[in-house]
Chains A and B, each alone.
Chain A
Amino acid sequence: MRDAARMTYGRITGALGKVLAYLVMGVFAFMTVSPIIWLLVNSFKSNAEYRLNKLSLPHEWITVNYPGAWRIGEFDKLIGNSVIYTLGASLGIILFSLLAAFAFAKIRSKATAPIYGSFVIGILLSIQSLMVPLFIEVSQLDKLLGDLFQFLHLMKSTDFHLFYNSRVGVLLIYIGSGLPVAIYLATEYIKSIPDALVEAARIDGAGYFAIFRGIILPMSVPIATTVAILNITGLWNEFALINILVSKTSLQSLPLGILRFSGTMMADYGKQFAALAIGMLPLLIFYLIFRKQITKGVAAGAIKG
């Protein structure tokens, strides 16, 4: 009898708890999605209508904001640059991190402890805090190289850009900043590949680069995918570094372009919203397609310290 009473009591609190859980979850989810939907809806309003009503649905759905924003914001260029930076740097990070990880994990050397250790410390360092010294470094290097080339009569002016205001500079710095986490993940992963595989190939006379290509690379696809996902989502949205590395509009990436656009188009809200929508749609679509992999990659790659 008492047991039965306890059971019903438990069931009631359980049901109440469930309702409460759904409520909390629902409210937070609604708060998460509603501003984003609000943004998308407003991109179909005219400027005049947005000024009059900011919350409700548009009386007249218009699409002209999109081509307008696309043209004024030069989004074809921005997206092109973003694709170059994101894919180029991600590929570089994967290649360099796998190479180094292979060496750390499978070739014995006294240098591994200090070098690998320094990479692990680098995970803790957030590169945003270094944006000022980084800017000074790249601009001073350009000045040095410019002087050198002029001294060697290779160039007439000293206005030389290899690192600042150059795609190469952005790619190098993106690759360097992504390496610590990638190397940590890849090294831990490659350590789990049996040594015997590598040794057997060595005895058969294979060189290390052949082993890398033939054994390590194919077996590292899962970790390479994780690294790729982390870096594609991270670099596509990267702002702090490229903001100090690039001032030429023709080299800007999507986040830089959007901020510039919203600064210059303060008065035209319709186009602003369209620009914001263009800015978030590529990754949102990427997320819808690869949600499972992204979730897994983020959970695996969220390491610091």
Chain B
Amino acid sequence: MARTVAYRRDERRAYWAMVLPAFILYLFVMAFPIAISIILSLSNFNGGKMFGGERWRITGFQQYAKLVADPQFWLALKNNVYIVLISVFGQLPLGFVFAYLIYRRIVRFGDFWQGVLYMPAIISVIVLGIMWNMIFAPSGLIADVMNKWYANAFSHKLDVILRASGGFNVTDGFVHRIVDISDPVALQIFNDPFTELKDIIVAYTPGQLAVFRSDMVNLLAHKWSPDFLSKADVAMIPIMFVTLWCWTGLYLILFLANMQKIDVAIVEAARIDGATEGQVMGRIVLPSLSGVIVNAAILCISGSLNSFALIWAMTGGGPARVTEVLSIYMYTNAFHGAPHYPLANAIALSIVIFSFILIGLTKLVEKRYGGRE
């Protein structure tokens, strides 16, 4: 009897010695912040010392009212929804199809494709965000390539005109034809394009042909400017594209690993009985992966609701805050300018609540339509 008591005490002591370090750290990192978040979102605390500093008190649900009244909150929420949508309905299906192509050996060298497509997920999103910013920026790669293309097209047309008028021969027809091929936007600098342009062109001598051509290209060719990216709604497109680009490989890996657990005999038998690849995918592989797909969807939703670093590095929420998502909206409220801790904490809690709602919905969908495992 005495021995079992000692035994039990020993067991209990070992149990707590093993569990407590992890549990305390967990409380420190997850539970306390949530508690702080709940309390501060209901308060008027704005920096300083929480204990023994300036007085602060619970003021109720004001912050949430402020949040709901702030159009920026709804914009950030909408942007977040875009990211959730492209993740769930872009990354997952694409990842699934790629995994299926490799699984069924419809494409060979599966290892190679998998290795390549997962590569972005291994690189720091800060590096990737800056890289994509340099591609999409107003003076970035895409603008450069497009402008070179427009310039080339323009100079070809100019060559045709020069050849038609037999070299550098300034006539009214010559100037008219140049006006015709010019970009309307570029011509807006003139009040009267024809006469003013003619005055400019007359100043060149036939010996300055090369200079003339490059000047005309610079002045009159169409210039591509990505200023549509500063408009709400479209501004999210590059970010959605990069999101898709970055994490599709993750779901490819996840789905492929689970497809490889399916009994090969079932698939082979179905093929011999005349099932098409489409039928195998829809009737055998998809149902047996339903649990994994729900898991992936949950991973996807909570990941995209919390996306921060990639967008932060890529646009910083700009231009003019049109690409802010909830986490950036929270960050700027807390750390830019005067701190609005109560509001920021209300946002933090709303992100947590949104993810639980979406995850709950996903589970509900699984219960309704899935569950053939």
Interface residues in chain A, defined as those with a beta carbon under 8 Å from any beta carbon in chain B: 17-18, 21-22, 24-25, 28-29, 31-33, 35-36, 38-39, 53-55, 96-97, 99-100, 102-104, 107, 109, 111, 115, 118-119, 122, 124-137, 140, 143-144, 147, 172-173, 175-177, 179-180, 183, 207-209, 212, 233, 236-237, 239-240, 243-244, 254-255, 258-259, 262, 269, 272, 276, 279-280, 283-284, 286-287, 291, 294-296, 298-300, 302-305
Contact = CB atoms under 8 A, between A and B. Distances in A.
Contact of A280 (B15, B52, B117, B124): B124
B352 interface: yes
A240 B120 CA distance: 18
A263 B175 CA distance: 46
Interface in B121-170: 122-127, 130-132, 134-135, 140-141, 144-145
A133 B36 contact: yes
B12 A295 contact: no
Interface in B292-316: 294-296, 298-299, 302-303, 305-306, 308-309, 312-313
Contacts of B309: 239-240, 243, 255
A129 B119 contact: no
Contacts, number: 278
A299 B36 contact: no
Interface residues of B, number: 95
Nearest to A261: B130
A269 to B, nearest CB: 8
B49 A140 contact: yes
A258 B298 contact: no
A256 B355 CA distance: 27
Given A32-B116, A125-B352, A258-B130, A130 B33 contact: yes
B40 interface: yes
B295 A137 contact: no
Contacts of A132: 37, 330-331, 334, 341, 344-345, 347-348
Interface string B10-26: 11101101110111011
Nearest to A177: B29
Contact of B334 (A102, A135, A254, A304): A135
22 contacts: A17-B277, A21-B107, A55-B141, A103-B18, A107-B14, A119-B22, A122-B26, A126-B303, A130-B30, A130-B33, A130-B352, A132-B331, A172-B25, A173-B29, A179-B22, A208-B18, A209-B14, A239-B309, A239-B312, A276-B130, A280-B123, A295-B115
Nearest to A301: B254
Q: Interface residues of B: mostly helix, strand, loop or mixed? A: helix
A147 to B, nearest CB: 7
A208 B14 contact: yes
B50 interface: yes
B300 to A, nearest CB: 9
A244 B335 contact: yes
Given A135-B334, A239-B309, A259 B126 contact: yes
A128 B308 contact: yes
B85 interface: no
Contact of B127 (A124, A129, A276): A276
B279 to A, nearest CB: 13
A247 B82 CA distance: 32
Contacts of A97: 22
Nearest to B362: A305
Interface stretch (B66-74, B219-227, B245-253): B245-253
A128 B311 CA distance: 13
